Amino acid sequence: MDGQDKTVKANILSILFIHVKFLFIGLKVFSFYPVNFVRRYSPVDFGSCAHRMIIMESYDVIIIGAGPAGTATALFLNDMGLDVVTLDQAKFPRDKVCGEFISPAADPILDDLGVLDSIEALSPCRLKGVAISAYETNEVFIDYPPAPGSSRRMTSLSLKRLAFDQLMVDRVRQCGVEVREEHKVTDFIFDGGSIVGVKGLDENKTSFSLASKVVVAAGGRNCISLRRLALLKRRKGGGKIALAAHWQGNNLPQDYCRMHVSKPGYTGMAAVAADVVNIVLVVNQEELRGKDLHEYYLSAVLKNRLRREILADARVTERVRSVDSLSYSAAQVPCGGLLLVGDAMGFIDPFTGEGIYLSLRSAQLAAGVIGEAFQGAGFSRQHLRVYEERRAREFSKKFMLSKILQRLIYNPPLCKFVTRRLAENPQLAETLVGVIGDYLPAEKVVSLKFMMRLAAGFPAGSGYRQMSAGPTRIAPGE
């Protein structure tokens, strides 16, 4: 063997030795670290991507948004034993404009999530029904009816959104789920026809990339999924804006969520503490053009005769906060690997019922479909569409009710007539608030039978009988 052959042989042996050495070191490293580290930092195959195999931090599920929808999804999936990370661009605690009362139907879900006792420990208010006033007519007080199969009347929780969201995030962390605050997702990672991860910026504006089998978009109306995939569908008509602030004082209403319809819009009032009421005003956006939000809010709230009486000894405790884009829906997701929950899938108008129950229930439905996916159904668009079908079956009539009520409340004569009919017919009234409370199916109201009973006695002319001089109460035994 000449010198050149010896040199080649030596080089080959040297290369083989280096490979064996690195293999030995790799085995030692992988044996030293726990299994979840190996799984967390695993090679991800991006198929048609330029670099097919990339070492990336990997989870079973990535959740975008740590509000009620995102945290509820994280808790449900954690109970299934899945490896979950929740990302939110905000720093907690953080506040949001919200009606701050939670539908009665949410209680069982909150109990399943292990947070109901913690909420009760905060001494929240318990509302026993809804009070409705149409264009400054006297209020009709309607108690929640019993749930089907029960004789006990329902109540709804009411507490500050700041406290509720923080409690949910704390619960997620207590269960061992990772929550990354100040992490803004800026794009998705695609592999063929599916989303397989996210990219974004952390609290230091450093870029990050995470891989997963499925992504849950729970970031509300500003979620990256609505923009990146062009899913946002704005509804026809003028856009709505909600203005909210807390009021403090003695003798503020405690037992009912009050819904007042009067120009320039409508308000929802709910007690969130012994002497604190949250008041949300919803108006058309064009109403605010060129006006100071805080001054406009104060003027509009106190313009109503009933509210002036209720708030005679109260004062607003903060600058008004606002949120717009209240009327929108989301198109179907066009790819695999992605589900939308909570407000990311569309918004139910506040007059129809608050959005927290929708967030919790959609999280519950999504978690069920994701569980099926990990059991073998897969993460294709075809399978994940099952979630959209189940969600549509459950919420489509509620969205329809929202559209009906929007037309109703902005027609003063019709709104007054319907309010009077509710005062005259306790069964109709309780059915409506049971649907608004999310524990009676919307089909009970969005039906020809209900509408015909409601329209009975509809006047042929424009003369509407005035309601009684005092408030009407629809309570047990009536």
Average pLDDT over residues 319-323: 93
pLDDT band at 296 (very low <50, low <70, confident <90, very high): very high
CATH number at residue 313: 3.30.9.100
- Number of domains present in the structure of the chain: 3
Q: What pLDDT digit, counting tens, does each position of 337-354 carry?
A: 999 999 877 776 656 656
**Same domain as 300, residue 342:** no
Q: Is the pLDDT of residue 24 over 90?
A: no
**Same domain as 219, residue 134:** no
**Same domain as 399, residue 337:** yes
**Same domain as 340, residue 423:** no
State the alpha helices, DSSP H only, in 290-380.
293-303, 305-310, 356-372
Average pLDDT over residues 428-455: 92
Q: Which domain holds residue 314?
A: 238-324
CATH number at residue 386: 3.50.50.60
Going by C-alpha positions, the residue among 215, 452, 257 that lies closest to residue 344 is: 215
**Cα of 246 vs its chain's centroid, Å:** 21
Confidence at residue 165, expressed as pLDDT on a 0 to 100 scale: 96
- Residue 114 belongs to some domain of the structure: no
- Residue 468 belongs to some domain of the structure: yes
CA–CA separation, 286 and 239 (whole Å): 8
Q: Is the pLDDT of residue 87 over 90?
A: yes
Confidence at residue 458, expressed as pLDDT on a 0 to 100 scale: 58
**Same domain as 381, residue 445:** no
- Residue 356 belongs to some domain of the structure: yes
- Local structure of residue 139 (DSSP, 8 states): P
Confidence at residue 30, expressed as pLDDT on a 0 to 100 scale: 36
- Residue 15 belongs to some domain of the structure: no
Q: Is the pLDDT of residue 15 over 50?
A: no
Beta pairing, strands 178-180 & 84-87: parallel
Q: Is the pLDDT of residue 1 over 60?
A: no
Q: What pLDDT digit, counting tens, does each position of 442-470 carry?
A: 999 999 899 888 888 655 443 333 444 45
Q: Is the pLDDT of residue 267 over 80?
A: yes
Q: Is the pLDDT of residue 28 over 70?
A: no
CA–CA distances in Å: residue 257 to residues 84, 127, 219, 279, 476: 36, 7, 27, 10, 17
**For the whole prediction, is pTM greater than 0.75?**
yes
% the chain with pLDDT above 90: 63
Q: Is the pLDDT of residue 359 over 70?
A: yes
Confidence at residue 350, expressed as pLDDT on a 0 to 100 scale: 59
